[in-house]
Each structure stands twice: as structure tokens, then as C-alpha cells.
Amino acid sequence: MDDTEVRRLAREVFAPLAAAGVPGRVNRPLVRALGDSGLLGRLFPTPLGGTGGDGVSATELCRLRETLARECTEAETALALQGLGTYPVVQSGSPELGRRVVPAVARGEAVAAFALSEPGAGTDAAALTLAAEPDGAGWRLSGEKTWISNAPDADVYTVFARTSPEGGARGVTAFVVDGGAAGLSGEPIEMLAPHAIGRLVFDGLAVGPDDVLGEVGGGFRVAMRTLDLFRPSVGAFAVGMAEAAIDRAVAHARERRAFGRTIGDFQAVSHTLADMATRTQAARLLVYEAARAYDEDRAPDVTRLAAMAKLYATETAQFVVDAAVQILGARALVAGHPLEHLYREVRAPRIYEGTSEIQRTIIARALLRPAPEGP
């Protein structure tokens, strides 16, 4: 399926389903349509019930997210969250756990979520306090997660909890948790852009050794492996939104007349459009370079380039959407206008999966790391 067909599906199939959904809650018809279209299956390895061979490449993930975002941000986000919530199972779960979880997610029949953030541990992911207390061969989870996409409606969660009192990244373990498990409750959180996002409360929820992803105490590595794959694709989402904003601004500048000529003839507008397009193209190139670095396993470049891609692309999208609103004027802020929608959507990517400030810290640490000694 090429990009033209993906954009057609986004316009003709996914966008009407998105518009019919309940704001702030999981849109299951939309998720199922993504599964029926075959797009979700492309994210996951064929042996685990997907159609993606050995699994999605970062480049393919970026291409899907960029293309969908240009036409329907809700479809883009629904697809991305299915991947984010499930990829810890793909990368670090046992084959049995993968076969238990992935097929229904790939078909769009089950909704997945990635439960990392807590009230006191968002940006500082190593400061997790959700407790996993030993209970026979397993553990009991007690505590809270918040700002969790697809909560409280998800069918399956990847949950990161502290199995050891040792601080920092050590002692955190990743678990798979069923959305209907006893001891799990939650509530939605109303946001500026009405996404499905919420709070989860764990009250002695039981998990066993078969629910562990990776090694006990190795949960932080599980989270970072997943984020290294998905951070460049957040940049691709931002690029898609920027491209959509440029499309609207260019069309308006060609048609809108003022003082006897189209507003695109005014240097203030035309130079703004030039800056919008140039910065978006630069962001796109950086996103796909980061994706290639991941696909080619170019450590230690992967983490640095992923941080650069997410930082620059999301900051650029904020600038581009704001500039497009300025070009269109008040009409762009009328409820329901595509740019009004993008104006609300574009703010969150600078925060989730690591804030812009955290991305700068990651980049600076990579630059300041001692150079390897020569021969």
C-alpha cells in the first residue's frame, strides 16, 4: 500500500470514524478500521500475528505516521499507541507472551497502552515509585500511573514498576497487565486536545513471572528500547502536521485577496511560507536520518539522533502551525477548522515521550561524553 492509498484511507475511512468518536475516550471503531485496513498488522512481526515480516522498521513507522498525520491525526495517534503499548512485548516478551498479546492488537480487536509516567515521575522516568511487592512466585502492584494514553479503556498495558527499593533506573521491572485485572481502576483526564488519556490506580494487582518483559530489574532498558524506536516517529507525526498546515496556508495565500492582490504576493506572507517549508523539510530529513540509524543499529548514534529528531520536528511543527494560523487569521480559530484542530494537537508532542528539555539534555550528554581512546 503506497502513501497515496494511505492518505485516501485516512480521508475517506478513518476521518469520518474519528469525527464520530467520543472525545477523550478510545475510539474502538477507528482502531478496528486500522486493523481491517492492514495498516496495524504492518507494525508487528509475522510470527506474532502481524504482517510486518521481522517487525516494523523505524523508517516504515515514520512513513506511516507522517502520511496519516497529514490527513487524520486521530488515526495516526491510534496506530502509534497500538505500537507503543505493544512493542515492549515484541522486543522483550517471551514468544508465548507475544502470541497471547500481539495478534488481537494487530487486528484492532484489543487496545494497548504504555504505562510509564507517574505523578512524580514523568520526565524523570527513573524515579518510578509504583511498588511491586513480592508475593510468592509473583508480585503485587500498588500505586498510581498518570498521563497514560488509552487509559482507562485499554485491554492490555505495559506497566513499569519498582521490584527493588534501590533507586534510579535499577530495580524497575516491566510487566504485562490485563486491562480487566482485579485491583486495577482508573479515570479519564480531560485535556486541551481531547485524547484518550487517563490515570490508573493499582491496588494489590497480582502479576506473575510469566507477565515479566525482559529481566526482573531490567525494565528501564525495556522502556528505553521502545522509546528509541518511537521517538523519531513522534517527529514524523509532527512533520505530517506541519505539512498539513503548509497545505492550508499555501492554498489560502493563493486565493485570499487584499489590497488588490493575493496575500501570497506580500513578502511578509511569502517569506513566512518559505521559512515554514524549509524548516519542515529540514525536520523531515532529520527524522528519517534518525530512523535509518535505528534500522542500521548505529549505536551510539541512535539515541542522540532520535532526541534530535523529536526535538527539532516537534518545535518546528509548533512554529509552522502557529504561522499558518496567523496567515489564515480568525477563520483558523473557529471551532472545527482544520488548523484549529492542529493548533490544539501540536502542543502535546513537545512534552510526551520526553520533553524538549530532556531531548536537549540527551543530545548534550552525547556531545560531552569522553571520546574513545585511540589505538
Does a structural domain hold residue 208? yes
Q: DSSP letter for 181, please.
A: -
Q: Can you name the residues that pair with 203 across neighbouring β-strands?
A: 142
Q: Which residue has the cell 511543527?
A: 317
Does a structural domain hold residue 373? no
Q: Which residues of 2-18 are buried (b: 16+ CB within 10 A; e: fewer)?
A: eeeebeebbeebbbebb
Does a structural domain hold residue 374? no
Does a structural domain hold residue 128? yes
Q: Tell me how many domains the chain contains.
A: 3
**Same domain for 225 and 364:** yes
Per-residue pLDDT of the chain (375 residues; tens, 9 = 90+): 788 999 999 999 999 999 999 999 999 999 999 999 999 999 999 999 999 998 899 999 999 999 999 999 999 999 999 999 999 999 999 999 999 999 999 999 999 999 999 998 876 767 899 999 999 999 999 999 999 999 999 999 999 999 988 767 788 999 999 999 999 999 999 998 888 999 999 999 999 999 999 999 999 999 988 988 999 999 999 999 999 999 999 999 999 999 999 999 999 999 999 999 999 999 999 999 999 999 999 988 899 999 999 999 999 999 999 999 999 999 999 999 999 999 999 999 999 888 999 999 999 999 998 876 655
**Same domain for 236 and 207:** no
Cell representation of residue 133: 511487592
Amino acid at 162: R
CB 112 within 8 A of CB 148: no
Q: CA–CA separation, 120 vs 116, rounded Å?
A: 11
- The region that residue 196 occupies, defined by phi over 0 for left and psi between -120 and 50 for alpha, beta otherwise, is beta
373: Cβ contacts below 8 Å, ≥ 6 apart: none
Q: CA–CA separation, 178 vs 197, rounded Å?
A: 17
Does a structural domain hold residue 283? yes
**Same domain for 294 and 168:** no
Does a structural domain hold residue 261? yes
**Same domain for 363 and 230:** yes
Q: DSSP letter for 218, please.
A: B
State the DSSP string of 88-152: HHHHHS-HHHHHHHHHHHHTTSS-EEEE--BTTBSS-GGG---EEEEETTEEEEEEEEEEEETTT
**Same domain for 259 and 358:** yes
Find the Cα–Cα–Cα–Cα dihedral 233, 1, 154, 336, rounded to 10°.
Answer: 80
**Same domain for 203 and 183:** yes
161: Cβ contacts below 8 Å, ≥ 6 apart: 128, 130, 131, 132, 139, 141, 143, 172, 173, 175, 202, 219
**Same domain for 256 and 199:** no
Q: Could you count the other beta carbons within 10 Å of the beta carbon of residue 196?
A: 27
Judge whether 71 counts as a catalytic residue. Answer: no
**Same domain for 153 and 53:** no
CATH of the domain at 120: 2.40.110.10
* Structural domain ending residue among the three candidates 85, 110, 135: 110
CATH of the domain at 309: 1.20.140.10
Closest CA to 170 of 127, 208, 132, 119: 127
* Structural domain ending residue among the three candidates 110, 138, 155: 110
Give pTM, 2 decimals.
0.93
**Same domain for 250 and 342:** yes
Catalytic residue selected from 71, 289, 353, 373: 353
Q: CA–CA separation, 94 vs 89, rounded Å?
A: 8
CATH of the domain at 53: 1.10.540.10
- Print the domain residue range for 67: 3-110
**Same domain for 247 and 193:** no
**Same domain for 179 and 92:** no
**The pairing of beta strand 212-213 with beta strand 172-178:** antiparallel
* Structural domain ending residue among the three candidates 199, 217, 235: 217
Does a structural domain hold residue 137? yes
**Same domain for 210 and 267:** no
Does a structural domain hold residue 39? yes
